[in-house]
Structure 1
Amino acid sequence: MSRWGLTIPLMGVPLAAHRDIVEGLAGLGYTDAWSAESNGTDAFTPLALASQWAPDLRLGPAIVPVYTRGPALLAQQAATLADLAPGRFVLGLGTSSQVIVERWNAIPFTEPYQRVRDTLRFLRRALAGEKVTDEALGVSGFRLDNPPKTPPPIVLAALRPGMLRLAAREADGAITNWLAPQDVGTVRSAFGTEKELIARIFVCPTSNAEEARTLGRRLIAAYLTVPVYAAFHEWLGRGERLAAMNEAWAAGDRRAALDAIPDDVVDDLVVHGPPDACRERVRAYVEAGLDTPILAVLPNGELSIPDAVSALAPR
């Protein structure tokens, strides 16, 4: 069986209320818990808690932006998690997006490929306990006081061929997002088959297709109008299907943008239906070449989030 991950924190569940849920994940068949970082919790705190609540889970952020922390602080936080969960922590790195980096954090979103590459190389050396000077990053003479006994694997967020090839050459795997099972082969064609491919998959376990599609449209409009995701779907061949959404969004007409997203695009990119059908759809990603699906459970009127976590567990 492939790995079977869950996104934490769960939507609508306070972080302090996660203990019982996280403690039970391994017993349900989940192997991984992966955090995220946008405008909710930070990426590391939920994993620090989970490292103590669930000693059998693999843990990772999907992803930590390389811009919003200095290289030394990234190394410190990664080393801390590697110490809390020795052999079970994976560091997920990526560029994030212009919205998060520039609009929300007032940091220039420049040379993303180079920034990810240079940060990856710096962290390899720092987490191995070396003293590092890196002119490209502006780092001079940094060394961790307590490098981890087991340096964590590093996986890169990668949406298009350039970053996928970098992940294949220099990282331990790649993380992707917002794709359909039929897109996995396209990603693998650029990334290769030798290293782990991870993807977050949005899952709404409900028989109410209209409810799921309404929520799915909101998420698709919020994400896929961002330039990095728009370019990703252009590469995947979905650009024409999303053109009307992007045009309406650029014109400031949010309602028209939502209405312009075809049902079949929502059905491709958001897993929905009864839990058994959702589970089979996630398995279709694995059959297409995905190693680790990370379920992001969406709220709905039929199942509470905790009940959905149980219902979607691998059987």
Structure 2
Amino acid sequence: MKLGYHLGYWSAGPPEGAREAILTAEELGFDSVWTAEGYGSDAFTPLAWWGAATSRVTLGTNIVQMSARTPTATAMAAMTLDHLSGGRFVLGLGASGPQVVEGWYGQPYPKPLARTREYVDIVRKVVAREQPVSHDGATFSLPLTGDGTTGLGKPLKATVHPLRTHIPIFLAAEGPKNVALSAEICDGWLPLFFSPKSDGFYRAALESGFAARGGRPPEFEVAASVPVIVHDDVEKAADLIRPSLALYIGGMGAKTANFHHDVFARMGYEDVADKVQDLYLGGRKAEAAAAIPTRLVEDTSLIGPPAKIRDELAAWEETVVTTLLLRGDSALLRTVAGILS
């Protein structure tokens, strides 16, 4: 498996040491560097700013939220970054969830699968630049016509000639239908909370998408974000991850629509996920974190002494994952690279 570095999205401000960590990742031979966005920092700007100091590593978004931009605006940013990076850009997209889409972006959240399919299709048309872009779908219409419009819109072709007429698109997905869609229409899948014990489930979803596509493309990638904590005490290592898991299982979404909660329920932790969610939404965040068993952390992370991490890596190498995306500072990257190499 290849190694990548995931900066994630910002909390209160820019992460300290980000540029140094990116340069360390490139020095160590990491394959890729990724940024993210939630409802604070955006994904494109940090990637361009810090990525400008690199020369080899792939630069990707994990993820750009589709509701934040029209498909044409996303395609414009993708072509721009691809030019500036010399063809090193990968566009990672995701639908996010209704709390963010409707609460932050003020956009509706119906039929995310159909919306994603249209979105990717339009981005592909813009980047290919074969003809003026038009699209007549249930979600997007180019040009826009009808009541409330001037009627003056017309199909347009990007003024910029793309460096590559096919920029790789990866889809962030957790549910089986979304995972299958990534295999059907995209160049890669970006899983969150992947576990080797769920490999069969995800492998079947991917195969379903490949079948609809007419076969697996030769360079399809699966880049999974995997927390890695090197520590002689496994419990203390797990404690460093529990608060983040509690946030996603309990608070990243409404009680009736939390896709992260559903991932762990499918993994066999439905009772745990329900308890964590109830505690978190009830304001008892510390108790929610404490309710997460160590075995759940170990299922989705690599934690503990170097020898334990190295032994457990074998299970990951047998899965559909092609790249492990690590988080941390430059010192951690050096340590983990030494363990995993």
TM-score range for the pair, normalised by the shorter chain length: 0.7 to 0.9
Query: For 1:99-136, what per-residue CA distance to the aligned partner results, in whole angstroms no more than 9, with x for missing partners?
Result: 33233333332221111111011111111113212233
Which residue identity is paired with 1:221?
Answer: A
Contact 1:9 1:18 in 2 (8 A): no
Is the partner of 2:2 in helix, strand or coil?
coil
Structure number with greater Rg is 2
Q: Does 1:155 align with 2:173?
A: no
Distance of 2:36 and 2:109 partners within structure 1 = 19
Which residue identity is paired with 2:2?
Answer: R
Is the partner of 2:327 in helix, strand or coil?
strand
Per the alignment, residue 292 of structure 2 pairs with 261
Per the alignment, residue 200 of structure 1 pairs with 225
Distance of 1:75 and 1:283 partners within structure 2 = 38
Alignment CA distance shift 1:135-1:5 (3 Å): same
Question: Larger deviation: 127-136 or 14-23?
Answer: 14-23
Instruction: Give 1:120-199 correspondences, 5 Å limit.
Output: 120-129=120-129, 130-136=131-137, 137-140=140-143, 141-150=155-164, 151-192=166-207, 194=216, 195-199=220-224
Per the alignment, residue 61 of structure 2 pairs with 61
Identity, % of aligned positions: 28
Flag structure 2 segments of 5+ consecutive residues without an equivalent: 144-154, 211-215
Instruction: Give 1:266-277 correspondences, 5 Å limit.
Output: 266-275=297-306, 277=308
Question: Larger deviation: 201-210 or 173-182?
Answer: 201-210
Alignment CA distance shift 1:122-1:25 (3 Å): same
Query: For 1:231-269, what per-residue CA distance to the aligned partner results, in whole angstroms no more than 9, with x for missing partners?
Result: 223333332332221233344443432232222112222
Is the partner of 1:293 in helix, strand or coil?
strand
Alignment CA distance shift 1:138-1:16 (3 Å): farther
Distance of 1:244 and 1:21 partners within structure 2 = 36
Using the TM superposition, give the Cα deviation of residue 217 of structure 1 relative to its aligned residue in structure 2, in angstroms.
1.7
Per the alignment, residue 240 of structure 2 pairs with 215
Alignment CA distance shift 1:65-1:11 (3 Å): closer
Which residue identity is paired with 1:134?
Answer: H
TM-score with structure 2 length normalisation? 0.81
Distance of 1:281 and 1:56 partners within structure 2 = 30
Using the TM superposition, give the Cα deviation of residue 32 of structure 1 relative to its aligned residue in structure 2, in angstroms.
0.8
Query: For 1:260-303, what per-residue CA distance to the aligned partner results, in whole angstroms no more than 9, with x for missing partners?
Result: 22221122223222355445544532322311111123xxxxxx
Distance of 2:334 and 2:318 partners within structure 1 = 22
Q: Does 1:110 align with 2:101?
A: no
Distance of 2:301 and 2:271 partners within structure 1 = 19
Alignment CA distance shift 1:95-1:241 (3 Å): same
Distance of 2:106 and 2:168 partners within structure 1 = 30
Distance of 2:236 and 2:199 partners within structure 1 = 26
Alignment CA distance shift 1:221-1:32 (3 Å): same
Using the TM superposition, give the Cα deviation of residue 67 of structure 1 relative to its aligned residue in structure 2, in angstroms.
0.5
Distance of 2:313 and 2:124 partners within structure 1 = 32
Per the alignment, residue 302 of structure 1 pairs with none
Which residue identity is paired with 2:142?
Answer: V
Distance of 2:141 and 2:89 partners within structure 1 = 27
Per the alignment, residue 27 of structure 2 pairs with 27
Is the partner of 1:7 in helix, strand or coil?
strand
Contact 1:207 1:272 in 2 (8 A): no
Using the TM superposition, give the Cα deviation of residue 146 of structure 1 relative to its aligned residue in structure 2, in angstroms.
0.7
Distance of 2:14 and 2:121 partners within structure 1 = 36
Per the alignment, residue 271 of structure 2 pairs with 240
TM-score with structure 1 length normalisation? 0.87
Alignment CA distance shift 1:107-1:31 (3 Å): same
Is the partner of 2:191 in helix, strand or coil?
strand
Which residue identity is paired with 2:5?
Answer: L
Alignment CA distance shift 1:118-1:310 (3 Å): same
Which residue identity is paired with 1:6?
Answer: Y
Q: Does 1:311 align with 2:310?
A: no
Alignment CA distance shift 1:254-1:21 (3 Å): closer
Distance of 2:101 and 2:157 partners within structure 1 = 26
Distance of 2:284 and 2:46 partners within structure 1 = 36
How many residue pairs match? The answer is: 307
Contact 1:275 1:311 in 2 (8 A): no
Flag structure 1 segments of 5+ consecutive residues without an equivalent: 298-304
